[in-house]
């Protein structure tokens, strides 16, 4: 697992949990 894929997974998780982030 690369660092970028890890960050993407974290961002996706946060977007899924907290929709107020408006990143997705």
pLDDT exceeds 80 at position 19: no
The percentage of residues in the chain with a pLDDT greater than 90, rounded to a whole number, is 33
Q: What average pLDDT does the segment 12-21 reach?
A: 78
Q: Is the pTM of the predicted complex or chain greater than 0.85?
A: no
Give how far Cα 23 sits from Cα of 1, 2, 5, 8, 18, Å.
22, 21, 16, 11, 10
Q: Is 18 left (phi over 0), alpha (psi -120 to 50) or beta?
A: beta
pLDDT exceeds 70 at position 13: yes
What pLDDT, on a 0 to 100 scale, did the predictor assign at position 11? 85
Residue that wins the pLDDT comparison between 20 and 9: 9
Helix (H) or strand (E) holding 10: helix 3-17
């Amino acid at each position: 697992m690369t660092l970028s894929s890890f960050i993407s997974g974290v961002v996706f998780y946060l977007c899924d949990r907290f929709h107020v982030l408006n990143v997705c």
